[in-house]
Structure 1
């Protein structure tokens, strides 16, 4: 890796984890399945800095879910990224409608709170939705994350505007100690891989029933496309070892 990496590289006794870390360091796609007890979804996952327009096309066509960028909690604070729910609650003070729709305790069936932050376009895009423009926005999110973690104080608004077409996810401050969603799982892997912790995630949906693609079918897809498949528990165990090392 180049000298711009944020975290030291890490090797784990689980070969599946090591293969995934190698793939991410090379800028390649992997799969993450959170757990049966959570969303029960498999996401395509790739480092934000590595994304091309072909990757965006791949995710929107073969995965079909929402293409989001998960950002490390330290970088999120430095960039002053808000949680969307907090913005809506604050705005609801002047709007009855927003007060009605603002996320409340118990609203989510799979977690205590959402990780959604802003939806943005990079300022060099036109509409922001074509594959090449979304790829540009995503890469620039990776770049500004890396720069701020490396000590550069770059204001987010200098490069991005909202509303836009790329959803930002703010990882929980305690990461996997606090929350075990795709957001935190992917950022934890980035830290272990020693790459910039801004990760693209996109849920895999079933073309036939429109629901989350089953774990078995997701694994089969991964075999056909040479993708490493990780389960959330594998990542959690490896991350706890990494933190303690």
Structure 2
């Protein structure tokens, strides 16, 4: 839908969205039509349940991404998936992960993927808390560089889920 046809009254306020996010509710975050023109289904990783994960997988593409800060990529020893991204938007994925926990089986189940997300959000987690490769794709903010514009200031819609400390410039 072109942005000129969007009515701002169709959207919830930022404070309302923050409250919903804190309450463990899903948010649908819309991208700008001039970017990818998509919507991201986001939820707080720290409290995601297997039922919520199953809903995400069933009602989306099934690719589960977990935005984390660049500092956490170091803490968890998660290298970039590729040395140089060919994605024109500069998506910075790390190697995929599963939680390294006795209850994890194949890593693909809703239980296993929700546990991986909760572990990524756990301040006490370490590099040993994860198995690599896995079924959840951590991504982090990296500047997008183009020949004409330099670093692109507009982050992707998934950045709404990034910790506030990783959004500070």
TM-score range, shorter chain: 0.7 to 0.9
Count matched residues. Answer: 151
Deviation at 1:191, TM superposition (A): 1.8
Decide which of 102, 126, 129 is 1:155's aligned counterpart. Answer: 126
Deviation at 1:173, TM superposition (A): 6.7
CA distance in 1, matches of 2:109, 2:12: 37
For residues 121-170 of structure 1, the C-alpha deviation after alignment (integer angstroms, 9 at most, x for no partner) is 11121111111111111111111xx34xxxxxx531x1111111111112
CA distance in 1, matches of 2:77, 2:134: 17
Decide which of 159, 165, 169 is 1:184's aligned counterpart. Answer: 159
Q: Give the 5 Å matches for 1:136-215.
A: 136-143=115-122, 146-147=123-124, 155-156=126-127, 158-172=128-142, 178=153, 180-187=155-162, 190-191=163-164
Q: Give the 5 Å matches for 1:45-84.
A: 45-84=42-81
Deviation at 1:19, TM superposition (A): 0.5
Deviation at 1:186, TM superposition (A): 2.2
- Report what 1:200 is aligned to: none
Decide which of 14, 36, 40 is 1:39's aligned counterpart. Answer: 36
For residues 84-135 of structure 1, the C-alpha deviation after alignment (integer angstroms, 9 at most, x for no partner) is 121xx6xxxxxxxxxxxxx4xxx434x1x22211111111211111111111
Q: Which has the higher helix share?
A: 1
Q: Say if 1:82 and 1:117, in contact at 8 Å, map to a contact too.
A: yes
Q: TM-score, normalised by structure 2?
A: 0.76
TM superposition outliers: structure 1 runs of 4+ over 6 Å? none
Q: Which has the higher contact order (CA 8 A, sep 6+)?
A: 1
CA distance in 1, matches of 2:63, 2:92: 13
CA distance in 2, matches of 1:40, 1:65: 18
Q: TM-score, normalised by structure 1?
A: 0.54
Classify the secondary structure of the residue corresponding to 2:115. helix
Decide which of 119, 123, 126 is 2:96's aligned counterpart. Answer: 119
Any gaps of 5 or more consecutive residues in structure 2?
A: 1-10, 145-150
CA distance in 1, matches of 2:12, 2:55: 26
Classify the secondary structure of the residue corresponding to 2:15. helix
CA distance in 1, matches of 2:59, 2:12: 27
CA distance in 1, matches of 2:61, 2:24: 21
CA distance in 1, matches of 2:142, 2:46: 21
Q: Say if 2:40 and 2:158, in contact at 8 Å, map to a contact too.
A: no
CA distance in 2, matches of 1:15, 1:135: 26
CA distance in 2, matches of 1:44, 1:183: 9
Q: Give the aligned CA root-mean-square deviation in angstroms.
A: 2.9
